[in-house]
């Protein structure tokens, strides 16, 4: 757990810090909410709130009065309940039957993705004398979990017949909503609507419906149904490049990742730096050491590719990123002192580096950059009073 979520942990001046601007998360939330056109907000907080800190972000968001929150696993939902978060919490991942009593005990909303799982939930809730809350999952084209639309009516029937469950919603997930070609997304949405027409055909109330993720919120307004599920948008990033997912909603990154200079030296020409002697300066230069590496979630793939900001200038990484440290070439005339701030993601002066850039350099996606910033990097929160 990040130290922000463990108040009894020892506190030391951090050399690696992720600063989270909760005011920006609020602004992003409100921007998405306006675009949602009256749909309820179901913000996604899985994977430690995309690296931003599960419990502090959830506590902040709860004050914004969302329809609920969504996580991926039982463990995440239980952490939120233990922290006092009381709003509805949907667990979107597939469930293990042995976990069902714990879902019910923690008052977590369960994703039922098959007739068998739904019946197991009904049975477990009956034994506990409780009513379990469910969202039913349809696989309209993701191929992950959920019943196919042509077989989903069997699950809907089982939900109507169950005695100890309340089916609150039916949902699905888009595979290509962040892509320029809309055809797959349109097919999925049409398939979803055909499947849930079961309820009107049976003359019963249709549960709430949701399918819009960040990409769909941006460019498929017809998919903003009863609820929307903003994920990466909430944290100020877009799910794809602008040529794939237009920036129809303005959001700003909430996370800045900083470290500090802990060593400075002059490196003579011809003297290699780092593991494998993979980088050798061709002239005398100045090299600083920064106490962050792949053991913190800063990818080794950024070796000789990534840049950091020090002294208001972007400077290249020299040699291979180590587990706990990396070296930076600040040039023959560069200046840096022990204790100086080093920015890995964010801005310093006129210079800035985005998580999107790190993703491109590392050959991955922004989601992975953010969720890989692990608990060796302390989280610190600002703007906590901003909820409007």
Max alpha carbon distance in the chain (Å)?
81
Give the CA radius of gyration of the chain. Answer: 24
H or E element: which one contains 191? helix 183-202
* Contacts of 82 by beta carbon, 8 Å cutoff, 6+ apart: none
Q: Does 275 participate in catalysis according to the annotation?
A: yes
The whole-angstrom separation of Cα 362 and Cα 369 is 9
The whole-angstrom separation of Cα 311 and Cα 307 is 13
CB-neighbour burial class of residue 6 (10 A; exposed 0-12, middle 13-18, buried 19+): exposed
Q: How many other β-carbons are positioned within 10 Å of the β-carbon of residue 15?
A: 17
Among residues 237, 357, 234, which one has the least CA distance to residue 299?
Answer: 357
Of 106, 238, 275, 381, which residue is the catalytic one?
275
Identify any residues that bridge with 18 across adjacent strands, giving them in sequence order.
257, 379
**Which residue reads 């490049």 in tokens?**
241
Asked if residue 121 lies in contact with residue 110, where contact means CB atoms within 8 angstroms, the answer is yes
H or E element: which one contains 186? helix 183-202
**SS3 state at 279:** strand
For residue 173, the number of C-alpha atoms closer than 13 Å in the C-beta half-sphere is 19
The whole-angstrom separation of Cα 369 and Cα 358 is 7
The whole-angstrom separation of Cα 192 and Cα 186 is 10
Of 29, 46, 199, 367, which residue is the catalytic one?
46
The whole-angstrom separation of Cα 42 and Cα 291 is 37
Q: Which sequence positions are flagged as catalytic?
A: 46, 275
């Amino acid at each position: 757990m990040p130290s922000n979520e463990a108040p009894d942990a020892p506190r030391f001046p951090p050399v690696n810090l992720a600063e989270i601007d909760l005011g920006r998360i609020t602004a992003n939330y409100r921007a998405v909410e306006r675009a949602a056109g009256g749909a309820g907000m179901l913000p996604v907080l899985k994977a430690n709130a995309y690296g931003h800190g599960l419990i502090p972000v959830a506590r902040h968001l709860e004050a914004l009065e969302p329809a609920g929150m969504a996580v991926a696993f039982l463990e995440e939902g239980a952490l939120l309940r233990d922290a006092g978060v009381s709003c509805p919490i949907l667990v979107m991942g597939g469930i293990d039957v042995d976990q069902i009593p714990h879902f019910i005990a923690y008052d977590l909303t369960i994703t039922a993705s098959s007739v068998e799982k739904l019946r197991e939930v009904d049975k477990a809730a009956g034994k506990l004398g409780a009513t379990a809350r469910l969202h039913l999952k349809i696989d309209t084209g993701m191929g992950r979990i959920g019943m196919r639309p042509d077989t989903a009516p069997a699950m809907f029937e089982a939900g109507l017949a169950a005695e100890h469950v309340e089916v609150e919603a039916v949902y699905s997930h888009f595979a290509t909503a962040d892509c320029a070609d809309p055809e797959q997304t349109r097919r999925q949405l049409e398939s979803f609507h055909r499947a849930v027409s079961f309820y009107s055909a049976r003359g019963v109330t249709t549960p709430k419906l949701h399918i819009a993720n960040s990409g769909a919120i941006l460019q498929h307004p017809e998919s903003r149904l009863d609820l929307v599920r903003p994920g990466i948008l909430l944290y100020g990033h877009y799910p794809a490049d602008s040529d794939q997912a237009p920036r129809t909603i303005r959001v700003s990154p909430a996370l800045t990742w900083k470290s500090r200079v802990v060593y400075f030296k002059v490196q003579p020409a011809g003297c290699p730096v780092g593991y494998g002697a993979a980088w050798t300066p061709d002239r005398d230069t100045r090299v600083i050491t920064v106490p962050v590496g792949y053991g913190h979630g800063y990818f080794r793939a950024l070796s000789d590719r990534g840049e950091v900001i020090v002294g208001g200038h972007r400077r290249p990484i020299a040699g291979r990123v180590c587990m706990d440290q990396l070296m930076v070439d600040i040039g023959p005339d560069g200046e840096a002192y022990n204790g100086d701030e080093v920015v890995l993601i964010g801005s310093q002066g006129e210079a800035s580096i985005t998580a999107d850039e790190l993703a491109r350099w590392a050959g991955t996606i922004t989601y992975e950059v953010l969720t890989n910033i692990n608990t060796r990097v302390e989280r610190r929160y600002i703007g906590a009073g901003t909820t409007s």
